[in-house]
Amino acid sequence: MSVLTEISENLQKGKAKIVKQLVQQAIDEGIPVKQILDEGLLSGMSVIGEKFKNNEVFVPEVLVAACAMNMGAALLKPLMAQEGVEAAGKVCIGTVKGDLHDIGKNLVKMMMEGKGLEVVDLGTDVSPEAYIDAAQNQGCQVICCSALFTTTMGVMEEVVKAAETAGIRDKVKIMVGGAPVTQDFCEKIGADKYTPDAATAADAAVELCKAI
């Protein structure tokens, strides 16, 4: 079995220490960073993402796999700049104002990082102004809003309006998600993309970054 396949398989099992050792081994063998990332770490994370989407694995498995991915990716990060591996794009993510639920938001963030995106995590209880500030001052191409309350979903519409008021609506895409959010709601408030889960959110964010 190649070291890259071993990285992918151990990541899926959440074996963080082994993944770290294998990534170091791959670096020492002279395998290009992009190949280690794509065919080792991201390949494993994609399998987990698909399984999560199909209810074959659940939140704990995703969290341990993400932890393994982060440990492996930490070794690659300094080498990426040297080898000129570009991030797939830059996004910001947060749970909207009035809402402190962050488990789903964190999963979405991890999946997005797993796809090679640079993610600015704004945390929870995020005001519309804070999302706009991240887009304007940190160069985020996509604003990602998560909400778990039927009562806080409305803040997403305020984010869309704040982007219009700031004059950046044509320069930034707005993604929405979270248990009570629907496609109809997304269209009603004029956001760009709704996705039901973390894996599809990551795929959609990569596509939106390419498009903008």
Binding pattern to ligand B1M, positions 103-142, x when CB under 6 A?
xxx-xx----------------------------------
d(C-alpha 37, C-alpha 201), whole Å: 20
Cβ closer to ligand B1M: 18 or 174?
174
Q: What is the layout of strands, in order, in the sheet containing 90-96? A: 118-126, 90-96, 142-146, 173-177, 193-194
End-to-end CA distance of the chain: 39
Chain positions 52 to 91 lying near ligand B1M, rule: CB under 6 A, are 59
**128 near 158, Cβ under 8 Å?**
yes
- 42 is a site residue for ligand B1M (CB under 6 A): no
User: How far is 115 from 202, CA to CA, in rounded Å?
Assistant: 7
Between the CA of residue 170 and those of 13, 141, 155, what are the distances in Å?
A: 42, 10, 20
Note whether 92 binds ligand B1M by CB under 6 A. no
Q: Does 49 bind ligand B1M (CB under 6 A)?
A: no
Cβ 125 vs Cβ 149: under 8 Å: no
Considering only 24, 35, 138, 150, the residue that binds ligand B1M (CB under 6 A) is 150
- What does the alpha-carbon distance between residue 110 and residue 119 come to, in Å, rounded to a whole number? 9
What residues pair up with 193 in beta bridges, in sequence order?
Answer: 175
Q: Does 195 bind ligand B1M (CB under 6 A)?
A: yes
3-state SS assignment for residue 95: strand
When binding is defined by CB under 6 A, the residue of 83, 171, 179, 183 that contacts ligand B1M is 179
CB 86 → ligand B1M: shortest distance, Å? 22
For residue 66, the minimal CB distance to ligand B1M (Å) is 12
Among the listed residues 19, 36, 69, 145, the single contact to ligand B1M using CB under 6 A? 145
Residues in contact with ligand B1M by the rule CB under 6 A: 59, 99-105, 107-108, 144-146, 148-151, 175-179, 195, 197-198, 201
